[in-house]
Chains A and B, each alone.
Chain A
Amino acid sequence: MRVVSFADGFTSASAPAFQGVIQENYSILNNQSLATSIITFDSAIYSSLFIDFELTREDSSNYFSQFGKLTIFNDGTNWLLSIGMYNNSDIIQDTIINPEHITLSVSNSGSVGSLDYTSGNMGSSYLGQFKIMATRIKTV
Chain B
Amino acid sequence: MTTLFVATLEDELIQEVKYNLEERLHVGAFIPYLYVHNASADFFTFELSNTDGVLFEKNFTVAEMKESLGTTDNYFHVFYPIIPVNPIQLEKGEYSVRLIPGTNYHQDGSSFIGWIKQFDNIQNEMDYVPLDDNSNSYTIRYKCYKEGIF
The interface of chain A, by Cβ under 8 A from chain B, is 1-8, 10-16, 18, 20-25, 134
A-B pairs with beta carbons under 8 A, tally: 75
Majority DSSP secondary structure for residues of A touching B:
strand
Interface size class of B (residues with CB under 8 A): 20 to 34
What's the minimum C-beta distance from A20 to chain B, rounded to whole angstroms? 8
Among listed B73-81, B85-93, B94-102, B141-149, interface-contacting one: B73-81
**Chain B stretch 56-93: residues in CB contact (< 8 A) with chain A:** 69, 71, 73-78
For residue B7, which residues in chain A have a CB less than 8 angstroms away from its CB?
1-2
Given A1-B8, A15-B37, decide whether A10 and B1 contact each other with a Cβ distance below 8 A.
no
For residue A3, which residues in chain B have a CB less than 8 angstroms away from its CB?
3-6, 133
Most chain A CB within a 10 A radius of its CB, from B5, B35, B109, B133: B109
Given A11-B73, A14-B75, decide whether A4 and B109 contact each other with a Cβ distance below 8 A.
no
B49 interfacial by beta-carbon distance below 8 Å: no
In the complex, the answer to whether B78 meets A10 with C-beta atoms within 8 Å is yes
What's the minimum C-beta distance from B67 to chain A, rounded to whole angstroms? 12
Given A23-B109, A24-B110, A134-B109, decide whether A8 and B1 contact each other with a Cβ distance below 8 A.
yes
B20 interfacial by beta-carbon distance below 8 Å: no
Q: How far is the CA of A6 from the CA of B1 in the complex (A)?
A: 6
The interface of chain B, by Cβ under 8 A from chain A, is 1-8, 35, 37-38, 69, 71, 73-78, 107-110, 114, 117, 133-134
In the complex, the answer to whether B108 meets A10 with C-beta atoms within 8 Å is no
Closest to B108 in A: A23
In the complex, the answer to whether B2 meets A8 with C-beta atoms within 8 Å is yes
Given A1-B8, A6-B77, decide whether A15 and B1 contact each other with a Cβ distance below 8 A.
no
Known: A1-B6, A11-B76. 11 other contacts (CB 8 A): A1-B117, A3-B4, A3-B5, A4-B3, A4-B5, A5-B2, A6-B3, A6-B77, A10-B76, A11-B73, A13-B75
For residue B117, which residues in chain A have a CB less than 8 angstroms away from its CB?
1
Q: How far is the CA of A21 from the CA of B109 in the complex (A)?
A: 7
Given A3-B3, A10-B69, decide whether A16 and B114 contact each other with a Cβ distance below 8 A.
no
What's the minimum C-beta distance from B71 to chain A, rounded to whole angstroms? 4
In the complex, the answer to whether A24 meets B1 with C-beta atoms within 8 Å is no
In the complex, the answer to whether A4 meets B6 with C-beta atoms within 8 Å is yes
What's the minimum C-beta distance from A129 to chain B, rounded to whole angstroms? 14
Given A11-B75, A24-B109, decide whether A1 and B2 contact each other with a Cβ distance below 8 A.
no
